[in-house]
Amino acid sequence: MSKISVKNPLVNMNGDEMARVIWDKIQNEIILPHIDLNLINYDLSIKSRDETNDKITTEAARQINKVKVGVKCATITPDEKRVKEYKLKKKYPSPNGTIRNILKGTIFREPIIINKIPKIVNHWNQPVIIARHAFGDIYRSKEISVKKKGKLTICFEDEEGNKEEKLIHDFDSSGVGLAYFNVNDSIYDFANSCFNYALIRNLPLFLSTKNTILQKYDEAFKEIFDEVYKKFQIRFEENNLTYQHRLIDDMVACLMKWSGGFLWACKNYDGDVMSDLVAQGFGSLGLMSSVLQSPDGKILKTEAAHGTVTSHYRQHQNGIQTSTNPIASIFAWSKALKHRGELDSNLDLNKFAQNLETICINTLNEGYMTKDLALMCGPEQKWVTTNEFFEIIKHKVEN
Ligand code: NAP
Ligand code: MG
């Protein structure tokens, strides 16, 4: 069979440990034998980042900005232990954070739903996609420990030296305090990303806040979303889609009541917490995909939501066969290929990517799966090794 040719390139970012082992297999055994693809490769492994003083991460992000599509393997975000393990020059920041700051996008996390795999929340039969506004709030806050009687205030001073100050609390005794912020530009980007992604995925959009309590802070999110929605309203109505703001507590109750099938725009902390809750509710990290999309909806970086699966890598290093789930990584490739296909109007490429996803879903439904998923199905369910699973997928893609 002749290979599918692809006109424009794709940025391929390799990573670390077991995720990297899987990554190489996907590339070499599933994608490249069938697609004539111009990959612009960046090695984002921890060693390569150390050798380049992390410049490689910035270069990769700039390249994604140019070619509009990137696919990324999981990478180590070093902590003190990793600095020692790899004798690193410094504790580099998370590559995902660096790339996000350059693309200014929003991360959307979406579960891959497989009928055969039981879910903790049984009636969630359509995906819940979480969009997290990954900027500001408690993650950029300043805290204070109050040790004695006294006043805690918050103060804004403009460039002319004019001050606006508010009393937060008049302490009688010890306690704690906190101040945090956000910026409207980032909230506009977030809103644009969310409305664009809802249209792309044909899903209704909900924004949650606590604007009854935070009548300036959270209200700003609601007002900006309302304003941006005006630009999208006609397209939403044409596609029978809706946008709604809901209080976070109401939204959490709806999440449990509903069967999925919506995009949920969360503030930073809510997104952090809810994305883990939703991942668990749907089952396994090995079935959670993640995309970073620019505000205009044109640039896409895809990846698996899980990490480098260090525990499995240790087995692999000792020559032990692992049973590591490659589905989320394969979907990172299929989603990136689909985006390339849409930008280039390359129907064959889209068909290949869609077919690859269908093959993965069917294979799991037929009962061939890795150990993480088999454990969810119960003691009767057999599982295959990483290599055996790849053989099955590879064979199906070839035929
Ligand atoms: P992890 O790699 O996601 O693994 C946590 C556990 O989840 C694994 O030990 C494994 O459980 C299970 N698991 C995750 N993915 C799996 C898969 N595909 N197949 C089967 N089981 C899977 O998270 P971590 O251990 O906290 O982090 C390891 C490294 O990854 C860290 O250095 C961290 O910095 C990095 N990380 C990177 C990203 C990213 O690049 N996006 C995200 C998160 C973490 P069992 O051991 O029970 O089998
Ligand atoms: Mg979290």
Give the model confidence (pLDDT) of 182-206 as tens digits.
999 999 999 999 999 999 999 999 9
Q: Do residues 100 and 239 share a domain?
A: no
Residue 388 lies in a domain: yes
Q: Do residues 1 and 74 share a domain?
A: yes
Ligand 1 lined by 94 (C-beta under 6 Å): no
On the question of pLDDT at 33 being above 70, the answer is: yes
Name the pLDDT band for 100 (thresholds 50, 70, 90).
Answer: confident
Q: Which ligand is nearest to the CA of 322?
A: 1
Q: What is the token pair recorded at 73?
A: 């393997």
Q: Do residues 129 and 10 share a domain?
A: no
Q: Do residues 78 and 25 share a domain?
A: yes
Q: Do residues 223 and 237 share a domain?
A: yes
Tell me if 37 sits within 8 A of 93, measured CB to CB. Answer: no
Give the number of domains in the chain: 3
What are the start-end ranges of the H helices in 248-326?
248-257, 268-282, 310-317
Residue 87 lies in a domain: yes
Residue 97 lies in a domain: yes
In DSSP notation, 86-143 reads TT-SS-PPPHHHHHHHHHT-EEEEEEPP-TTS--SSTT--S-EEEEE--SSGGGG-EE
Burial of 66 per CB tally in 10 Å (0-12, 13-18, 19+): exposed
Q: Which ligand is nearest to the CA of 276?
A: 2
Task: State pTM to two decimals.
Answer: 0.90
Q: What is the predicted pLDDT for the residue at 101? A: 85
Which ligand 1 atom is nearest residue 74's CA?
40
On the question of pLDDT at 390 being above 80, the answer is: yes
Q: Do residues 82 and 195 share a domain?
A: no
Question: How much of the chain exceeds pLDDT 90, in percent?
Answer: 87
Domain span at residue 267?
Answer: 119-136+181-282
Q: Which ligand is nearest to the CA of 326?
A: 1
Q: What is the predicted pLDDT for the residue at 275? A: 87
Q: Do residues 158 and 79 share a domain?
A: no
Tell me which of 258, 282, 306 is where a domain ends. 282
Q: Do residues 302 and 347 share a domain?
A: yes
Q: 188 CA to middle of ligand 2, Å? A: 23
On the question of pLDDT at 382 being above 90, the answer is: yes
Q: What is the predicted pLDDT for the residue at 1? A: 66
Give the pLDDT confidence of 4-24 residue by residue, as tens digits: 999 999 999 999 999 999 999
Q: Do residues 243 and 324 share a domain?
A: no
- Backbone conformation region of residue 56, classed left if phi is above 0, alpha if psi is from -120 to 50, else beta: alpha
Residue 288 lies in a domain: no
Q: What is the predicted pLDDT for the residue at 92? A: 95
On the question of pLDDT at 173 being above 70, the answer is: yes
Q: Do residues 311 and 215 share a domain?
A: no
Give the pLDDT confidence of 304-340 residue by residue, as tens digits: 999 999 999 999 999 999 999 999 999 999 999 999 9
Q: What is the predicted pLDDT for the residue at 157? A: 97
Residue 287 lies in a domain: no
Please report, for the domain that includes residue 306, its CATH number.
Answer: 3.40.718.10
Q: What is the token pair recorded at 221?
A: 């999110």
Atom 41 (ligand 1): residue with closest C-alpha? Answer: 74
Mean pLDDT of 50-57: 97
Least confident range from 119-123, 185-189, 364-368: namely 119-123
Q: Do residues 74 and 131 share a domain?
A: no
Give the pLDDT confidence of 330-341 residue by residue, as tens digits: 999 999 999 999
Tell me which of 216, 248, 282 is where a domain ends. 282
Angstrom distances, CA of residue 276 to CA of 222, 263, 269, 279, 305: 24, 15, 11, 5, 10
Q: What separation, in Å, do the N-terminal and C-terminal C-alpha atoms of the chain show?
A: 10
Residue 148 lies in a domain: yes
Q: What is the predicted pLDDT for the residue at 284? A: 80
Q: Do residues 104 and 2 share a domain?
A: yes
Give the pLDDT confidence of 256-279 residue by residue, as tens digits: 999 999 999 999 999 988 988 898
Q: 211 CA to middle of ligand 1, Å? A: 35
